[in-house]
Chains A and B, each alone.
Chain A
Amino acid sequence: MSGGHSTYTPSTGIEKWIDARLPLPRLVYDSFIAYPVPRNLNYAYTFGGILAIMLVSQILTGVVLAMHYASATSLAFDSVEKIMRDVNSGWLLRYMHANGASMFFVAVYIHIFRGLYYGSYKAPRELLWILGVIIYLLMMATAFMGYVLPWGQMSFWGATVITGFFTAFPIIGDPIQQLLLGGFAVDNPTLNRFFSLHYLLPFMIAGVVVLHVWALHVTGQTNPTGIEVKSKTDTVPFTPYATVKDGFAMVLFFILFAYFIFYMPNYLGHPDNYIPADSLKTPAHIVPEWYFLPFYAMLRAITFNIGPIDSKLGGVLTMFGSIAILFLVPWLDTSKVRSAVYRPWYKLFFWLFVADAILLGWLGSRPAEGVYVVMAQMATLYYFVFFLVIMPVLGLIETPKRLPNSITEAVLAKSKGGAVPAGATAAPETKG
């Protein structure tokens, strides 16, 4: 779409001068002002913008925190407390950063589920989807390393458990773990390299976000009908239509964010992380941050050996597999219809999948004993069946509902056709 011609016309002398040398204003104009977006996008489509602003917020608060933070095991915990007590508005920065990470994940999960619901991964958007999964992976690495920095009990033991996963792999496992740790156990070298990487990865995320947005602007956005844009009446210009809608959603999201920062700043964290790390005292239950809980549940669900694969390696493979499988989604879904709106059975299984993911999250916070183990095994099974069986098979056997011919038709049908004056559809261009 934006592969088409640019509609930017530099008006002043300076703009012409710049445009002839480095057409940056043209790029911005074409990407964020004239860029056509489907007119029927709903609020589920606002989370991309929310994610962008959360990344900026994490980087800004993070850079200031890093000015006061000391990445040595003997200083880290107290330096964070110094931020909380003595640095001007330090408590605000730190709570923004810690809760911001959680909100970032809230947004990314909604964004990913949105993609799964509306079939956003289907051709020609496979690379767009894969870049998204890479961003998600980088976010997980960043958040994991960030959580180690305050050097509390959960920082230390979380790092010990998670880096321990790698030892499950034969031969290469131990060297990988030692490389991550910078030694044989979590210690000062670990903290230093995690800080370095925690500073670096968000900028790599920003780089991949640029590729993600670039890919988006080549293929254009999907929309709730899943039908590609066919004519000019199907779209509205990004500004003001999408800008104001995204802006409204962002403010609402900030209300949620602020609620946690100011009223429940420790709700999403673990109390044990207010105890300084102690390598001699293992906490009763080591639990990761809430956003990793579904994967943690799948890891612990594998309590049995499968042939030569022991339960530990099996668990780790299941956990990595649960993320790796996302890369294959564009090719696992065989349906010709993109959006779940027109796929009654897929819609049902999709919502079951959402419930399953939430259930897994809750199970991840429970001790791995008794009924919880069986429940986690069932939930893990459904997770994989959804991708490996339901997606490919359903696409072949499901009878979709009748699709509208175009976005415009769908929209006008919804607003009861005749109620909209004919001129209205053309209005966007004259306004844009």
Chain B
Amino acid sequence: MKTILTGLATLGFGVMLTVGGALAQEQHSEAEPTHFPIEKPHQESWSFAGPFGTYDKGQLQRGLKVYKEVCSSCHSMKLVAFRSLEELGYTEDQVKALAAEYDIQDGPNADGEMFTRKGIPTDYFPSPFPNDAAAAASNGGAAPPDFSLIAKARAVERGFPTFIFDIFTQYAEAGPDYIHALLTGYDHTPPEGMEIPEGTHYNPYFIAGKSLAMPKPIDDGQVTYDDGSPETLDQYSRDVSAFLMWAAEPHLEARKRTGFRVMVFLVLFAGLVYLVKRRVWANVAH
């Protein structure tokens, strides 16, 4: 049976590799690509990767600053409440002050009027546009997507056999890798003969086409950091990607911490049950 199995496995691998090769060759015309993204994102190193990953609070604070000063003029983040920013290392008062920077629509009051008030920690980040149609109208027909889950809502396909190795390397950072690649991927010149539709911008890392409606949103020196971190496009992109991962998965640290305890328990328990099993079956040939 072992020989049959190995035979089959080799056969299966052989077939898949040939087909994979055939397909790779199919992607030919540089000017008219049919599969996106044109370039796969690079795998960056993230503090929150791996079984013991944790968020780097300084980085999240910088990412929040980038979001507030740059991205938030176009992108909403409706599911994130100010109160949760305490997880980034801010004190209650700092969060209160931060929320108060925003004007929030509320009401109706007793007179039936809508009114505007200062934000409080239980409010959510307000959206830059009143609705999706308005957002699309102001951005050349493409509404900037909401940011609450963007880091989990984008993942470039890894392909065979990488997707199998990913299980063992615990690769779960496709989202931030993608955002980082997209933000730093603007300054390429499109290949000769490629037509870029009016009002869109070439970016070989964009997952859904050769160009997107978002112009290069951020560049070197645009946001001031007060912790001495480099004020470069690459650093901004890293920080905002990490921040967006936190926004999408705020309980990541608790998840991995709990996971470790559960795994240790299960492995020890499995060992004990195995010993019992051996003992019980010791005198029975089976």
Q: Which A residues are closer than 8 A to B by beta carbons?
A: 39-41, 78, 81, 84-85, 91-92, 95, 236, 240-241, 244-245, 247-248, 251-252, 254-255, 258-259, 261-267, 271-272, 274-275, 284, 347-348, 351-352, 355, 358-359, 362, 370-372, 375, 411-412, 414-415, 420, 424-425, 427-428
Contacts and interface: CB of A to CB of B under 8 A. Distances in A.
Given A271-B155, A271-B175, A264 B19 contact: no
Contacts of B170: 263-264
B270 A252 contact: yes
19 contacts: A236-B284, A244-B281, A245-B277, A258-B262, A258-B263, A261-B259, A262-B255, A262-B256, A262-B260, A266-B152, A271-B152, A271-B154, A274-B149, A275-B145, A275-B149, A362-B16, A362-B160, A375-B15, A424-B283
Interface in B1-18: 1, 4-5, 8, 11-12, 15-16
Interface string B44-84: 00000001000000000000000000000000000100001
B255 A258 contact: no
B259 A262 contact: yes
Q: Is the interface of B mostly helix, strand, loop or mixed?
A: helix
B149 A266 contact: no
A300 to B, nearest CB: 16
Interface of B: 1, 4-5, 8, 11-12, 15-16, 19, 22-23, 26, 51, 79, 84, 145, 148-149, 152-155, 160, 166-167, 170, 172, 174-175, 208, 248, 250-251, 254-256, 258-260, 262-263, 266-267, 269-270, 273-274, 276-277, 280-281, 283-286
Contacts of A263: 51, 170, 172, 256, 259
A240 B175 CA distance: 48
**Which 7 pairs from chain A and chain B are nearest by CB?**
A262-B259, A274-B153, A415-B285, A274-B149, A271-B155, A251-B270, A274-B152
A39 B172 CA distance: 43
Nearest to A38: B286
A39 B284 contact: yes
B5 to A, nearest CB: 6
Given A85-B79, A275-B149, 6 more contacts: A91-B254, A247-B277, A258-B266, A261-B259, A358-B12, A424-B283
Contact of A244 (B84, B152, B256, B273): B273
Contacts of A370: 23, 26
Contacts of B258: 92, 262
Contacts of B174: 271
A267 B250 contact: no
A231 to B, nearest CB: 15
Contact of A424 (B175, B248, B251, B284): B284
A271 B149 CA distance: 10
Given A78-B79, A244-B277, A271 B263 contact: no
B172 A348 contact: no
B285 A272 contact: no
A347 B1 CA distance: 8
A355 B12 contact: yes
Given A78-B79, A81-B148, A370-B26, A264 B172 contact: yes
Contacts of A428: 284
Contacts of A427: 283-284
Contact of B263 (A92, A241, A259, A347): A259
A262 B263 contact: yes
A241 B79 contact: no
Contacts of B4: 347-348, 351
Contacts of A265: 172, 255
A283 B193 CA distance: 27
A411 B208 CA distance: 59
A255 B285 contact: no
Given A236-B284, A262-B255, A424-B285, A267 B267 contact: no
B85 to A, nearest CB: 13
Nearest to B20: A371
Given A91-B251, A262-B256, A247 B273 contact: yes
A248 B274 contact: yes
A240 to B, nearest CB: 5
B167 A264 contact: yes
A425 B286 CA distance: 10
Nearest to A408: B285
Contacts of A84: 251
Contacts of B276: 244
Given A81-B79, A85-B84, A375-B19, A411 B286 contact: yes
B12 A359 contact: yes
Contacts of A85: 79, 84, 250-251
A219 B22 CA distance: 51
B79 A262 contact: no
A274 B1 contact: no
A123 B210 CA distance: 60
B230 to A, nearest CB: 30
A288 B110 CA distance: 50
A104 B270 CA distance: 20
Q: Count chain B CB atoms within 10 A of each CB in A41, A271, A275 and give the residue with the most.
A: A271
A267 B266 contact: no
Given A271-B155, A274-B149, A39 B286 contact: yes
B272 to A, nearest CB: 9
Q: Count chain B CB atoms within 10 A of each CB in A84, A85, A347 and give the residue with the most.
A: A85
